[in-house]
Chains A and B, each alone.
Chain A
């Protein structure tokens, strides 16, 4: 990097309205050097290094009305690659049950079940810091915030039964010209662990601090189930999950920090899904070599300004709503695939857009996508999505269904298998998104009839399988897993997601105006070990889609509604649920008018968790509430007594009584 540093130096000096002068960098560096003798975390690395030598972007790249299109790019120049897996490393100081404040850890509750899961088998360090990333070869680098400076973040590849500590460090700049916020709290979506490691939206820590998140990588059901076979650790192995992701969850700034790049993939393997394709004991033998036949497919959208004349960088616009679709950090990449099966773990990191993906064959017709998992959970039976039987998965009469389309709202994950053996060597296959992006140059290859270049998310170039490449896996098993029976319901509850008079709210039964996010009060108190049925409702006319996410554990969908009318029921042959909703999920996509009755268990851990709309613009506007799992009746009673009040009359009373006083 010395070459880059030398190149950057005059820019640092000339950035007068930026954040730092070189003199300040030296000054801070000297101070940090002195401080490090006294207390290692007095100053952070980036203060000492001058933000990794990367100057803040000029403030010029702001949104305009109407929006200015991003610079043009040539399609299919960059290769589609999996994020590089992160290597585990020893942590210094070693992780502790109680926070190590003296060494710079942020405040938190002690890790739960520490004795059961410590010491962690693997430890990692993830530093949230400034970086540069090229979103396209035609573009100069873009200023980002990334874990270890990278976008997408390095992937964490994990195994059930092997617990992990990830030390998240906040090395973000002390001041920034971007719209990001240098306070972070990292949520592992949708890990089953204590709330101190859950990235609760109010638990952020600022620049210079770090926090250990303890991920036991255990199946749900720890209280009831002992160890499980295959070295997979404790819990109910039927609760297996696979494709997680981690991202910043800072209240009000989740969108901003995720647009800047603070998210990444977290994959957990077990003996049924071992991360390889050998016929090992219990393995389903799905395409399973990470980065070879098994790829995360991380979607986001961005808008860029023209290259800045002073820095030469192509900065992203400081706002949501892009005109370039980005796949694994690249715009319109290509991927060389062999004539065999591949697994893609589709993840939509938003911030707000919903994708309708279709596979377009060389002749222009719609190809088959086999869905094997919904939100990290294997379906009991794989579901082919094609132009015929399972056309679309919106299960809606309010939004158009794209034939053969897989709808992916923010934070949803869909693990799919595409079999490229059906295509000729040398043919080109396309993944299409229903909304066009701006491109600016024609496709270098003739596109199938009916496909416009703006709609192409990425291109697959099909080649023969070389002898050294792993041979195709056996056919996808007809049964992938068996779900446990659902326990009896202890309590029922309703959450309404509303937008009334410009205010995003979550309403509970009896609330007249609904709740906004309040980190200090729980909106719903739950006794540990119980099971509840929740009706998630988007039935107040608004026209918005709310992908509702529930932290902590997966739910089963019992019923789906459209405008109050039951449209599908689990295990009901006369009115079946759409098959793609039969899987366990942690995001329930509620399009306008839709509702879902879900069932969820609250076990194994205590603490504060969240339910929120995962459209990041909505959650940042506080369409999010906190619910608590209380360990015992006394704790529950106290929680109930201090519940959040979201009642117009009470609030009015509060205000007018103050007025009189």
Chain B
């Protein structure tokens, strides 16, 4: 079902998207043992939230999975339609599709639009480096330090962002929203006007602008 979803929907990437040249088109396997191409099937034209984990991790991975699960509820109208979660293993030698399926089922997160992915070790390393290359290269290859960040990509907008996996749910939701900004100038003008109304109220009440980006 999930595989069919991926193939039948038409996702348009942003014309400036670096595409497979950046993300690679490595063939990965989902928890349902479906072969998927990393860029063409998973990134192209979609918004997604990516984290790295492994099934036997008992440190922060379960907490990150828990976080994603609560965030999933907030986003469930979009999940599997234009928004996806990808939890990619960093221990492919242990994490077979079956092991990931077990992990997902055990935690009640074998949900539409949420894929647990494994593949060739070299491919996964390449993907990890390409996704986090703004960061210190060594950081995400250290197994103990792998789970700090969620990479948020919106290929339809060619925009990148991230969130810290242990920030508050609201903070993470804000950052997911940041990667899906208003599309047209008119919408942006409307947002600016809406924010200005809030700012004027706040300045009157508190003596300065109190809120941030959210209206």
Contacts and interface: CB of A to CB of B under 8 A. Distances in A.
Interface of A: 17-19, 42-43, 56, 59-60, 62-63, 65, 99, 101, 106-110, 175-177, 179, 181, 183, 195-196, 202-203, 205-206, 208-209, 252, 255-256, 318-321, 501-504, 513, 516, 518-521, 606-608, 617, 620-622, 628-632, 635, 638-639, 642, 645, 651, 654-655, 658-659
B76 interface: no
Nearest to B157: A175
Nearest to B66: A655
B149 A520 contact: no
A208 B181 CA distance: 14
Contacts of B178: 252
Contacts, number: 173
Contacts of A209: 188, 192
A635 B22 CA distance: 48
Interface stretch (B28-36, B81-89, B133-141): B133-141
A176 B158 contact: yes
Q: Which of B137, B159, B210, B214 has the most CB of A within 10 A?
A: B210
Interface string B135-165: 1110110101111110000000011111011
B195 A109 contact: no
Nearest to B186: A42
B212 A202 contact: yes
Contacts of A99: 196
B112 interface: no
Contacts of B196: 99, 101, 107-108
Interface of B: 14-16, 18-19, 21-22, 59-60, 66-67, 69-70, 73, 126, 129-130, 133-137, 139-140, 142, 144-149, 158-162, 164-171, 174-175, 178, 181, 185, 188-189, 192-193, 195-196, 199, 202-203, 206-214
B169 A654 contact: yes
B132 to A, nearest CB: 10
Contact of B148 (A203, A502, A635, A639): A502
Contacts of B73: 658
Contact of A108 (B165, B181, B199): B199
B87 to A, nearest CB: 16
Given A19-B16, A108-B209, A196-B209, 9 more contacts: A175-B158, A176-B158, A177-B158, A209-B192, A252-B161, A502-B149, A607-B208, A630-B206, A655-B169
A622 B164 contact: yes
Contact of A606 (B147, B162, B165, B208): B208
Contacts of B60: 501
A607 B209 contact: yes
A177 B70 contact: no
B192 A655 contact: no
Contact of B167 (A108, A176, A622, A635): A622
A659 B133 CA distance: 34
A177 B18 contact: yes
A404 to B, nearest CB: 29
Given A107-B196, A501-B145, A502-B146, A208 B185 contact: yes
A655 B139 contact: no
Q: Which 9 residue pairs of A and B lie closest in terms of their CB atoms, listed nearest first?
A: A502-B148, A519-B212, A502-B145, A631-B207, A520-B212, A59-B18, A606-B208, A109-B209, A107-B196
A43 B146 CA distance: 43
B192 A101 contact: yes
A124 B207 CA distance: 28
16 contacts: A17-B19, A42-B185, A43-B185, A101-B192, A101-B193, A106-B192, A177-B18, A208-B185, A319-B133, A502-B146, A516-B171, A520-B170, A520-B213, A621-B149, A631-B206, A659-B66
B171 to A, nearest CB: 5
Contact of A107 (B146, B149, B195): B195
Contacts of B126: 65
Nearest to A616: B134
A56 B165 CA distance: 33
Contacts of A181: 159-160
Nearest to A513: B166
Contacts of A620: 134
Contacts of B158: 175-177
Contacts of A106: 192
A320 B133 CA distance: 8
Contacts of B129: 63, 65
A513 B145 CA distance: 15
Contacts of B162: 252, 621
